[in-house]
Chain A
Amino acid sequence: MDNFQIILIILSVATALCGIMMAVSRNPISVALSLLGVLLFTAGIYGLMAEHLVATLQLVVYAGAVMVLFIFSIMLLNLNVELKGPKIASPLTWGCALLVSGTIFLALVKSFVHFLASPEVGYSLGQSSESQQDAMNGQTYGLAVELFAKHYIAFELMGVALLIAIIGAVVLAKRKID
């Protein structure tokens, strides 16, 4: 157990606790803040794995922009007041949801444990991370080469998708449907 493992386990337990908080709390604001905790601790895990660019993107785009959008719209819709009547689903719905998600969790863990036991885990598809980063003048350079030289069509399509999303959001939020 070196320092890396200890910090990783602390961050993972904190992330899982925030996820559980998200599932059990009733107030939308506390759900949003728990989601913010999940995103921040996940960014911590990315930083621990030395994937600094992804950690920064996670902080700026997810924990910054998207969460501000969510909290602002919770404030705008005034969802913070508790409405009358039961807002928790019936035990049947609850049990079915638990059954489905639990089954999928067990299937994922089983397939992953099966994968870890197989011999191709140790087989490295590329070079080791550090030497690759040294050869590429750091990770951001390598990611830029991947994005703008190999996946440029997908990158441009993503720009078109963002434009369509902006126009759609403005048109949808502006007028009332009669």
Chain B
Amino acid sequence: MDSPLLVTQTLAAFLFCMGLFMVLYRKNTMIMLMAIELMLNSANLSLVSFSHHYGLLEGQVQVFFVITLAAAESAIGISLLLNLYRNLGSVYTDKLSHLKG
């Protein structure tokens, strides 16, 4: 218990599964985007704590890239959602069933 590895890795696994759960059961696509951000954040937490444990900076470089890509991803996702809202008037997944069947 001298290293924060156990606590931080358990927390990262918990947050990842919470994000996965929300992506699977939510109906609001905006909340699903936020859940994806939560999953990316938990992966960052795992990388940083291993990088801290081993005294290496490689993990933090990956965290840098993940944060950049998460910002890009949320910008694209939100603009897609805006388009969806303007064309269909809703962001709920039960309205987005045009390709069903």
Contact = CB atoms under 8 A, between A and B. Distances in A.
Interface of A: 4-5, 8-9, 12, 15-16, 19-20, 22-23, 28, 31-32, 35, 38-39, 42, 45-46, 48-51, 53-54, 57-58, 61-62, 65-66, 69-70, 73-74, 76-77, 79, 83, 87-89, 93-94, 96-98, 100-102, 104-105, 108-109, 112, 116, 121, 124-129, 132, 139, 142-143, 146-147, 150-151, 154, 158, 161-162, 164-166, 168-170, 172-173, 176-177
Size bin of chain B's contact surface: 35 or more
Contacts of B78: 69-70, 73, 169
- Mostly helix, strand, loop or mixed at chain B's interface? helix
B76 A169 contact: yes
18 contacts: A15-B15, A20-B18, A54-B63, A61-B68, A69-B75, A77-B91, A88-B25, A93-B25, A96-B24, A100-B24, A101-B24, A124-B54, A129-B55, A147-B64, A150-B61, A158-B69, A165-B76, A168-B79
Interface of B: 1, 4-11, 13-18, 20-22, 24-28, 30-31, 33-35, 37-38, 41, 44-45, 48-49, 51-52, 54-58, 60-61, 63-65, 67-76, 78-83, 85-87, 91-92
